[in-house]
C-alpha cells in the first residue's frame, strides 16, 4: 500500500479536512507510486493562516540572532540528510542525482548564509535636522507569508523564500508544487527537528487552483512569494494589487547565450550543453537560445550536435545518466507542440524532436535533446518559454546584433556571452537587459549571496537571495527620538 502523507499545521500532521488525496508518481517510471498527499482546500488554508497569525505574535519577538542560530541548526541537519533528500527529489521530479545533490547544497548554503543575517539585518542611523533629536530606520517583520513554490528546485527555492522570511520574524505557509510534495514534507520534518516552534512553519498540500488561490486571496496573508509562470504571476499580482498585499514574483525566462567569433568554442559548447539540457531544460535560467557569430556558427553547431547525441538519458537515480525525464505528461505534450511550431515556422530540426522510449524509458516522460538551427529571432520557438530540452541556434553578424537579439524577448532573467575581448565583455554587462549576466559561463548557476531575479516579464522587480531579499520580507520603520524637551517642527523650525 502506498504511503499516506499529510499537511503540517500548528506542529501537527493532519489529513485534508475533506479527506481527499492526490497521487504523486515518479516521472521516470509511472508505475512507481510515491504516495498519496492531501488534496487540501479553503478550510485547510483557513486553519493554517489562523495558526500562523497566532504564532507570529511570539516569533517576531524572538531576537533575530536566536532565529539565526536555529537556521544554522537547520543547515547542519540538511547536511546530514543531503543524500536522502537528493534521492527523494530525483525520484519525484526526475533530474539526475548530481543535480539534486546540488539543489540540496543550495539549501544548505542558504541556511548558513541567512543564519548570519540574524546579526545584521541592518537599518541606518542618520543625523537629524533639528538639535537634540535622533533619527534611525529599522526593519520590522510583515506577518504571515504565503510561499508558493515550483517543482523544478523543490528544496532550494523553498529555502530561498522560507529562511529569509523566518530570519525577519515572519511566519509562513508553504504550498509546494503538486509534483514534488514529498521533498517539502521532508524539509518541514527537518525544520521540526531543528526546533522551529509550532505554527511558525505550516505546510499545506494541494492544487494551485485550490490552495494557492485561497492563500493569495486570504485577508490574513500579508505577503505572497511566488515562483512560476508569467501567466499565473499576472493573476496573482492582480489579486494582490486589489488587496494592497505585498507580492514577490519570480517568473519565466528565454535566456540567450552569445558566442562570438573569438570565443573558446569548446568551453562555449560545454556551457550550451549544460545550460540547454541540464534539468532536461526545465529551469527558468535554462539556455534556450544560442546566438552565434556566423564565422563560427557551422563549427560550433557540428560540435554541439555530436555531443548532444551522446547524452545518456534515463532514470536519474542511475549515476551514469546525464539527463532525466520531463516532469509530467502535460510538459511533454507542450514540448511536442513547440517542436511542430518550430518546423512550421521554417526552423531546421537537426536532432531530437521526439519522445524517447529506449529501454526502460518507455514508462516515463522522457524526451530527446533537441536542437534547431536556421532560427529567426522573431520565431515563437525563439520568443516563448518551452521549458524542455530544446535549443534554438540563431546566427548573427556582429556583437551589436547579438545584443539586440538577446534583448529581443519579453523576458530578462539570465544571459551569457563567450568572448576573449574584455571590451565586448564589459559592453555586454552594460547593455544586456537581464537580471543576471555571465561572462564565459552558461546562463545557469545562481549563488545564494547574490540577488536573483530579472527584468521585464521575468518578475515584478523584487530579487530573491542576496541582501535584497530582506526588502521583500520586512517593512521599513523610521524612528525619531526628540530629547529637546520642547516641540520642534521639522521643515518649519529649521527654515531660514
Catalytic residue among 110, 145, 240, 284: 284
Distance CA 275, CA 229 (A): 19
Q: Beta strands 223-227 and 255-259: pairing type?
A: unpaired
Q: In the beta sheet, which residues pair with residue 436?
A: 414
Q: Looking at 89, 117, 250, 464, which residue is catalytic?
A: 250
Phi, then psi, of 384 in degrees rounded to 5: -105, 145
> Which CA distances in Å does 427 have to 345, 420, 492?
32, 13, 48
Active site residue 361: no
Helix (H, G, I), strand (E, B) or coil at 351: strand
* Strand arrangement, sheet containing 255-259: 348-351, 370-373, 390-396, 287-293, 255-259, 414-418, 436-439
DSSP 81-131: THHHHHHHHHHHH---HHHHHHHHHHHHHHHHHHHHHTT----EEEE-SST
For the question of residue 322 being annotated catalytic, the response is no
Q: Are 314 and 361 in contact (CB under 8 A)?
A: yes
Q: How many residues does the chain have?
A: 496
Contacts of 485-492 with C-beta under 8 Å, sequence gap 24+, read 485/132, 488/130, 488/131, 488/133, 490/129, 490/130
Q: What is the DSSP string of 151-208?
A: SSSTTHHHHHHHHHHHHTT-EEEEE--TT-HHHHHHHHHHHHHHTPPTTTEEE--S-I
> Do 40 and 16 meet the contact criterion of CB atoms below 8 Å apart?
yes
Q: Are the C-beta atoms of residues 136 and 124 closer than 8 Å to each other? A: yes
Q: Give me the active site residues, please.
A: 250, 284
Amino acid at each position: 500500500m502506498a504511503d499516506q502523507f499529510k499537511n503540517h499545521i500548528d506542529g501537527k500532521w493532519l489529513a485534508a479536512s475533506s479527506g481527499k488525496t492526490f497521487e504523486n508518481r515518479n516521472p521516470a517510471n509511472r508505475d512507481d507510486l510515491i504516495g498519496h498527499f492531501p488534496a487540501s482546500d479553503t478550510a485547510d488554508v483557513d486553519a493554517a493562516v489562523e495558526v500562523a497569525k497566532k504564532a507570529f505574535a511570539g516569533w517576531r519577538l524572538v531576537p533575530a540572532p536566536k532565529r539565526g542560530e536555529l537556521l544554522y541548526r537547520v543547515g547542519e541537519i540538511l547536511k546530514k540528510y543531503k543524500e536522502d533528500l537528493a534521492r527523494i527529489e530525483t525520484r519525484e521530479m526526475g533530474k539526475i542525482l548530481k543535480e539534486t545533490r546540488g539543489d540540496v547544497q543550495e539549501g544548505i548554503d542558504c541556511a548558513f548564509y541567512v543564519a548570519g543575517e540574524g546579526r545584521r539585518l541592518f537599518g541606518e542611523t542618520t543625523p537629524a535636522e533639528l538639535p537634540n533629536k535622533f533619527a534611525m530606520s529599522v526593519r520590522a517583520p510583515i506577518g504571515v507569508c504565503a510561499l508558493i513554490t515550483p517543482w523544478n528546485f523543490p528544496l532550494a527555492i523553498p529555502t530561498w523564500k522560507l529562511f529569509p522570511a523566518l530570519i525577519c520574524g515572519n511566519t509562513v505557509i508553504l504550498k509546494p508544487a503538486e509534483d514534488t510534495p514529498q521533498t517539502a514534507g521532508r524539509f518541514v520534518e527537518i525544520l521540526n527537528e531543528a526546533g522551529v516552534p509550532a505554527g511558525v512553519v505550516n505546510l499545506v498540500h494541494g492544487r494551485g487552483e485550490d490552495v494557492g488561490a485561497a492563500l493569495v486571496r486570504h485577508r490574513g496573508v500579508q505577503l505572497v512569494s511566488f515562483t512560476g509562470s508569467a501567466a499565473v504571476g499576472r493573476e496573482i499580482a492582480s489579486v494582490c494589487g486589489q488587496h494592497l498585499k505585498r507580492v514577490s514574483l519570480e517568473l519565466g525566462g528565454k535566456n540567450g547565450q552569445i558566442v562570438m567569433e573569438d570565443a573558446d568554442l569548446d568551453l562555449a559548447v560545454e556551457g550550451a550543453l549544460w545550460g540547454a539540457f541540464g534539468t532536461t531544460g526545465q529551469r527558468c535560467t535554462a539556455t534556450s537560445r544560442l546566438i552565434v557569430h556566423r564565422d563560427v556558427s557551422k563549427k560550433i553547431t557540428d560540435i554541439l550536435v555530436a555531443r548532444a547525441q551522446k547524452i545518456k538519458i534515463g532514470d536519474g537515480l542511475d549515476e551514469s545518466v546525464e539527463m532525466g525525464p520531463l516532469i509530467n505528461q502535460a510538459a511533454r505534450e507542450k514540448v511536442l507542440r513547440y517542436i511542430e511550431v518550430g518546423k512550421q515556422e521554417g526552423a531546421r530540426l537537426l536532432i531530437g524532436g521526439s519522445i524517447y522510449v529506449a529501454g526502460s524509458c518507455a514508462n516515463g516522460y522522457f524526451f530527446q535533446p533537441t536542437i534547431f538551427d536556421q532560427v529567426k529571432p522573431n520565431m515563437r520557438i525563439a520568443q516563448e518559454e518551452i521549458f524542455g530540452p530544446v535549443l534554438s541556434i540563431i546566427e548573427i553578424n556582429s556583437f551589436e546584433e547579438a545584443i539586440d537579439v538577446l534583448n529581443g524577448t519579453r523576458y530578462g532573467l539570465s544571459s551569457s556571452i563567450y568572448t576573449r575581448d574584455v571590451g565586448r565583455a564589459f559592453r555586454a554587462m552594460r547593455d544586456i537587459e537581464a537580471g543576471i549576466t555571465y561572462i564565459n559561463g552558461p546562463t545557469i548557476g545562481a549563488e545564494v549571496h547574490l540577488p536573483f531575479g530579472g527584468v521585464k516579464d521575468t518578475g515584478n522587480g523584487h530579487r530573491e537571495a542576496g541582501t535584497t531579499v530582506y526588502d521583500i520580507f520586512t517593512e521599513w520603520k523610521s524612528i525619531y527620538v526628540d530629547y529637546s524637551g520642547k516641540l520642534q517642527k521639522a521643515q518649519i523650525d529649521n527654515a531660514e
